[in-house]
Chains A and B, each alone.
Chain A
Amino acid sequence: GESVGLHLPTLSVQEGDNSIINCAYSNSASDYFIWYKQESGKGPQFIIDIRSNMDKRQGQRVTVLLNKTVKHLSLQIAATQPGDSAVYFCAENSDSNYQLIWGAGTKLIIKP
């Protein structure tokens, strides 16, 4: 069935380094993708989104890349800070449905 999944469950990076979190999706009809950050005990917080007519979008310290050919989505965080420690989820939907389909999540650990 349709699914969105993540390659790595845990990622440790040194403070100040860049991090890349990857996500694979299987529904070729998906045309809207979102990255959410979830800190312990809190609800998901929007980071950045991208539509399928784009392959790259930049925010503040974050960049999302979309490769529709291989159905791959990545989140790049530049110059990681302790506050970036969280679980990161990719999610997708399409114009034909309302629900977000969520990936399993990657836990990002920032080492001092």
Chain B
Amino acid sequence: EPEVTQTPSHQVTQMGQEVILRCVPISNHLYFYWYRQILGQKVEFLVSFYNNEISEKSEIFDDQFSVERPDGSNFTLKIRSTKLEDSAMYFCASSADNYNEQFFGPGTRLTVL
């Protein structure tokens, strides 16, 4: 069964450093998403991506964040200068269209020290 994969599973970084979280969406999906979940809290939408551009983003997704689909398979989330409050689980998701089930990856736990 096809699945979304994410790497790394756990990333530890120093405050102010840049991190890149990687995702491989399901191959025939066209819509891609990043969400985050601070420990013990609900899942929060960050950004959606379609046709090589951002289709929607939340207030959380400020100038420190960027997304990219550098090739036909990867979808990345970059945080330019990490802050302590960026510590969270980051989930990538993909869907065949924007009105159907979003499939989630296992997440990357980001710890900012």
Asked whether A and B interact, the reply is yes
Given A99-B33, A99-B45, A99-B48, is A45 in contact with B104 using a C-beta cutoff of 8 Å? Answer: yes
Is B48 within 8 A of A98, CB to CB? yes
Within 8 A of A (CB), among B59-83: none
Q: Which residues of B contact A104 (CB under 8 A)?
A: 41-42
Given A97-B56, A98-B56, is A44 in contact with B33 using a C-beta cutoff of 8 Å? Answer: no
Q: Which residues of B contact A105 (CB under 8 A)?
A: 42
Task: Check B25 for interface membership: any CB of A closer than 8 A.
Answer: no
Min CB–CB distance B39 → chain A (angstroms): 11
Q: Which residues of B contact A (CB under 8 A)?
A: 4, 31, 33, 35, 41-45, 48, 50, 55-56, 58, 91, 98-99, 101-107
Q: Which residues of A contact B (CB under 8 A)?
A: 32, 34, 36, 42-46, 49, 89, 91, 93, 95, 97-105
